[in-house]
Amino acid sequence: MFIRKRALERIAREKVLYERSPGGDVSVCVIYPNIYPLGMANLGFQAVFHIFESDPRVAADRAFLPDADERAQMRKTGERIVSFERARPLSDFDLIAFSISFETDYLNLPSIFELAGIPARSAERKGRGYPLIVAGGSAVFLNPEPIAEFIDLFLIGEGEEMAPEFIARFSEHRGDDDLLARLAEVEGAYVPEHYAPAYDERGRLRSFAYRGPTKPRVNRRLIDDLDQFKTASLILTEESVFGDMYLVEASRGCQWGCRFCAAGFMYRPIRYRSSENLIAEARHGLSERKVIGLVGAEMASVPGVAEIATDVAERGGRLSPSSLKADCISPKLAAALAETGARSVTIAPEAGSERMRKVINKNLTEEQILEAAAMMLGEGVANLKLYFMVGLPEERDHDVLAIAELTGKIIAGARERRQRVASVTVSLNPFVPKPWTPFQWDRMEDARSLKRKIAMLRSALSKLGPVELDAESPREAYFQTMVSRGDRRVSRILERLHAAGADDPGAIWHELQAIRRDIDSAAAVDLQDPDFFVTREYARDELLPWDFIDHHVEKWFLESERKKAHFEHQSPPCDVTRCTVCGAC
Ligand code: SF4
């Protein structure tokens, strides 16, 4: 029973920052579909677990994907996953609630079902006394379809108000024959079995017929006032990947509207926590940790962020913001970050050339990037991390080489000003088209072409001296695109990957290629070619797998932004005080 022993050791090392409730008679297991250190670093997971656990009707437990060695042991011994708090088999719960932030974790669902002894497909569980399987989290409110065959009901949107409504409805109707129909009445609930997809002769989604009790379009739920709900570390453990930090969510959404970024559209309109709330939360955190991790899409635009950094510095702590938009870093913020001992800073130009930054609507000039780097280096922050993407729509080779030119100018500028540069890391990610963005119709560039561009850039950067290129593999991005843009037919591919034991990037890539070969040789008739979801441009008039969700962002607006990208036209950042253009305000 070393699995239970490890769980008990982990629980013993945790510090719970709130009073735990004795629990009610609705048993819920909240599952993070990846390993414990990743789950415990996820604020979304901690917040959802706390929402369930603090509901007097609910007895809530946690569970995670077992570690690799545990999985191997369990497959040998037949041991089953049990929950953290009460060591209950997952099949004993009334409800299992997956909290899924990353679509790449969709891969782990078949493993969790297997190791829990629960059939993965809803259709195979129906009427057999298994728990109701629910899922929520930012990944599913972008596109839940790749796992729709595994999940009985999705909660689309932010859970603070929606989850208690769902629990109330579940407590009222559990055991009823029409339970799913009753639960579907919760605003934001999506029941896949109430929809029937049909495909045309080219394999494209032709229709998504609705046969449920409410309305076909699912309204994505958001909360208006973030200050009403705490989203900060609730259970601390050194074993979390951010173990040395107390995490505080500062905002949801982003005003800048970069055309590749899902967070900039799916959480519209932008909402910030008040600086009073953030300062109070950071001070509370400093009694537990020396580092305050400020979480959100873009932190330099958070109102009062410089004052928060200064307040943390004055109390001997360090503020660690997730990402900073170069032109929004004020001298005061730069100084405060340096004063708090920040040793590295992340700046996200995303594209090397001015032209490409206009295509992606980055609203950031080369001059502003050079100024921000000079300011941070001037404050003694000597380690620079620069985020760039490759394979973006409209990209040409000289745009990729412009990444090296820009990096070169940052280093040359530092030398001229005699500023110390300890390291420069170029973090390069292949473009992954995301639902609900202006680039949702665009295809991912094929892996061979991306590899050529990465090699070209690596050679150009090697001439600059101490620059490290940290490039994500196009193969990983290929899988991410498939689970990001795919429809229900992806569930069969996930099952095939699971059956083949493909759970690392290399194995996944090889199994996906094997699937493609099988399809070509008609050996696999029930599988869709992964390329269909990855390297195929979606037509503008095509029904998209996620179109049934209402994100309050008009489709014509996304299309007009796509057109502007082609003509290298930028759009102004959001002004929620007077703008209504995209439909979200
Ligand atoms: S309506 Fe305007 S301000 Fe509001 S989210 Fe849309 S673009 Fe931004």
Average pLDDT for residues 397-410, to the nearest whole number?
A: 97
Alpha helices in 205-329 (DSSP H): 263-266, 275-286, 305-314
Residue whose CA lies nearest to ligand 1 atom number 5 = 269
Those residues with Cβ within 8 angstroms of residue 337's Cβ, 6 or more apart along the chain or in another chain: 309, 319, 321, 345, 376, 379, 381
The position carrying tokens 């970069």 is: 258
Query: Hey, how many other C-beta atoms are within 10 angstroms of the C-beta on 462?
Result: 11
Q: Which residue has the tokens 């510095």?
A: 313
Is the CB of 581 within 6 Å of ligand 1?
yes
Q: Would you state the pLDDT for residue 193?
A: 98
CB of residue 72 inside a 6 A radius of ligand 1: no
Q: What is the mean pLDDT of residues 390-394?
A: 98
- Estimate the share of the chain in helix, then strand, then coil, as percent rounded to the nearest 5: 40, 15, 45
Q: What angle do CA 522, 528, 534 make, to 5 degrees?
A: 130
- DSSP summary character for residue 362: -
The whole-number average pLDDT for the span 221-245 is 95
Instruction: Verify whether ligand 1 is closer than 6 Å to residue 576 (CB atom).
Output: yes
**Mean local confidence (pLDDT), 398-421:** 95
**Per-residue pLDDT averaged across 365-374, rounded?**
95
Mean pLDDT, rounded, for 72-80 = 94
CB of residue 580 inside a 6 A radius of ligand 1 = yes
Cα(379) to centroid(ligand 1), Å: 35
Q: What is the mean pLDDT of residues 550-556?
A: 97
pLDDT surpasses 70 at 511: yes
Q: 577 C-alpha to center of ligand 1: Å? A: 9
Task: Tell me if 374 CB under 6 Å of ligand 1.
Answer: no
Supply 146's token pair. 């790749």
Residue 573 Cβ inside 6 Å of ligand 1? The answer reads no
Q: How far apart are the first and last CA of the chain?
A: 53
Note the pLDDT of residue 369: 96
Residue 262 is classified by DSSP as: T
Three-state DSSP at 244 gives: coil
Determine the average pLDDT of the residues in 428-436.
98
DSSP 184: T
Q: What is the largest CA-CA distance in the chain?
A: 74
Sequence-ordered list of residues with C-beta below 8 angstroms from that of 541, at least 6 positions apart, any chain: none
SS3 of 424-477: EEEEEEECCCCCCCCCCCCCCCCHHHHHHHHHHHHHHHHCCCCEEEEECCHHHH
What is d(CA 547, CA 552) in angstroms, rounded to the nearest whole number? 11
Question: Ligand 1: does its nearest atom lie under 6 Å from the Cβ of 554?
Answer: no
Please give the average per-residue pLDDT across 483-509, as a whole number: 95
Confidence of residue 191 (pLDDT cuts 50, 70, 90): very high
Q: How confident is the model at residue 1 (pLDDT cuts 50, 70, 90)?
A: low
Atom of ligand 1 nearest to the CA of 571: 7
The answer to whether residue 524 scores a pLDDT higher than 90 is no
Ligand 1 mean position, distance from CA 489 (Å): 34
b/e map 109-139, b = 16+ CB within 10 Å: bbbbbbbbebebebeebeeeebbbbbbbbbb
| Cα 431 to ligand 1 centre (Å) | 24
Give the pLDDT score at 466.
82
What are the tokens at 584?
């979200």
State the distance from the centre of ligand 1 to the C-alpha of 552, rounded, in angstroms.
Answer: 10
Q: What is the CA radius of gyration of the chain?
A: 24
Nearest CA residue ID for atom 8, ligand 1? 574
Index of the ligand 1 atom closest to the CA of residue 576 = 3
- Whether the model pTM is above 0.75: yes
Distance CA 372, CA 390 (A): 22
Would you say 130 and 148 are in contact if contact means Cβ atoms under 8 Å apart?
no
Query: What would the mean pLDDT of 393-415 be, rounded to a whole number?
Result: 96
Domains of the chain: 2-219 (3.40.50.280), 244-472 (3.20.20.70)
Position 507 scores a pLDDT of: 95
Atom 6 of ligand 1, residue of closest alpha carbon: 582
**Distance from Cα 553 to the centre of ligand 1, integer Å:** 9
Cite the beta strand spans of 304-444 per DSSP E: 318-321, 344-350, 383-390, 423-430
Rounded to the nearest angstrom, the distance between the alpha carbon of 268 and the centre of ligand 1 is 7
% of the chain exceeding 70 in pLDDT: 100
Q: What is the mean pLDDT of residues 493-508?
A: 94
Best mutation site among 267, 575, 577, 578 for ligand 1 pocket (most ligand atoms within 8 Å of CB):
575
> Is a pLDDT exceeding 80 seen at residue 523?
no
Instruction: Say if CB 88 and CB 465 are below 8 A apart.
Output: no
In the block, residue with structure tokens 């940052």: 410
- Ligand 1 mutation target, pool 576, 577, 578, most atoms within 8 A of CB: 576
Instruction: Please tell me the distance from the alpha carbon of residue 402 to that of residue 187, in angstroms, as a whole number.
Output: 47
**Any atom of ligand 1 within 6 Å of the Cβ of 552:** no
434 CA to centre of ligand 1 in angstroms = 19
Closest CA to 100 of 185, 166, 160, 159: 159
Cα–Cα distances in angstroms (integers) from residue 378 to residues 30, 317, 375, in the given order: 46, 21, 5
Across 346-367, average pLDDT: 96
Average pLDDT value for residue range 21-48:
96
**Per-residue pLDDT at 465:** 82
Does 585 sit in the ligand 1 pocket, CB within 6 Å? yes
Closest CA to 289 of 363, 366, 233, 370: 233
pLDDT band, residue 520 (cuts 50/70/90): confident
Cβ neighbours of residue 499 closer than 8 Å, sequence gap 6 or more = none
Nearest Cα residue to atom 1 of ligand 1: 580
CA distance readout (Å), 160 to 103, 148, 156, 228: 21, 23, 12, 9
| CB within 8 Å of 326: residues ≥ 6 apart | 347, 348, 349, 364, 368, 369, 371, 372, 373
- Is the shortest distance between the CB of 426 and ligand 1 below 6 Å? no
- Measured from the CB, is residue 584 less than 6 Å from ligand 1? yes
